[in-house]
Amino acid sequence: MRVIPCLDVRAGRVVKGVNFVDLRDAGDPVEMAAVYDAEGADELCFLDITASSDDRETTYDMVSRTAEQVFIPLTVGGGVRGTGDVERLLRAGADKVAMVTAAVERPRVIAEVAERFGSQVLVLSIDARRSDTQPSGFEVTTHGGRRSAGLDLLAWAAQGCALGAGEILLNSMDADGTKAGFDVEMVAAVRAVCPVPLIASGGAGAPEHFGPAVGAGADAVLAASVFHFGELRIGDVKRVLAGEGHPVR
C-alpha cells in the first residue's frame, strides 16, 4: 500500500479547503515536499489546482525545485493539455503526469500520451461527486470541481483505462476536506470497472479512515490537510495499515 501526500498549489503556495472552497495557506511546496520525503511518503502528488481554470500551464520552475528535493516518485498535474506539456513536465523532474480537464475535453489525448511515453506515465485524475443525473449516481467534474462534465463516473473511468491511462486518481468532491472518511462506495464502484492501480482521495481525517479505502479496492491512499497541518503523520497511517494486515513499505 502506498501512502501519498498531495500538495494542492495555488499562486506558489500549498493550500487546502473543504469541498474545494475556503482555501487556506499550508506552506511552501518545495519545503513540504522535502519533509514528506524524509517522513517516509511513498510518492508525492503536486497539483496546480487553478492552472486549468486560469487557462495556463503548471509552473515548471516549481516542479523542478520540488523534484530536486525528493527521491520518491513525483506526480504533477494542472493545466496539462497534450504531449508537449507532458514532455516538459518529465524534463522538469516529474515521474508521472496527471490529466483532468484536457482528458475530458479530448479523450484521445490519453491514448496519445500513453503511446508516446507509456501508460505508466499517465495518471487520469477524476474529481467526482454524487449526482442523480448519472446512471451510477456519480458525475465527473472539471476545472478544479467548478464545472460538471456531464459524464457518468464509471463510464468515464472505464473509457480512460481503455484508452491507456496507467493509473486512476479518484477524488471525492463531497468528501474532500471534510475529514469524515473516504467515499468507499465510490472507490468500490470504480474498482469494479478499472483494471489499473487506483488511488483514493478525499475525506481522510483519522488513521482508521485509510483501511476501509484499501478494503474497497484502493491500491494507494492520498491525503492533504491532515498531513499539512500536522494532524496525522505518514508513519501513523502506515502503522495502522500494517496493523490491519495491509503491506506497507
**Residue 138 is inside which H or E element, if any?**
strand 138-142
Burial of 60 (0-12, 13-18, 19+ CB in 10 A): middle
Look at residues 96, 158, 151, 107 and name the one whose alpha carbon lies nearest to residue 129: 151
> How many Cβ atoms sit within 10 Å of the Cβ of residue 27?
15
Whether 127 is catalytic is yes
Spatial separation of the C-alpha atoms in residues 222 and 234, rounded to whole Å: 11
Which residue type is seen at 129?
R
Burial of 11 (0-12, 13-18, 19+ CB in 10 A): exposed
Spatial separation of the C-alpha atoms in residues 189 and 212, rounded to whole Å: 14
Q: Which candidate in 127, 152, 176, 183 is catalytic?
A: 127
Label the pairing between strands 138-142 and 147-152. antiparallel
Helices (H) and strands (E) in the chain, counts: 10, 12
Residues that are catalytic: 8, 127
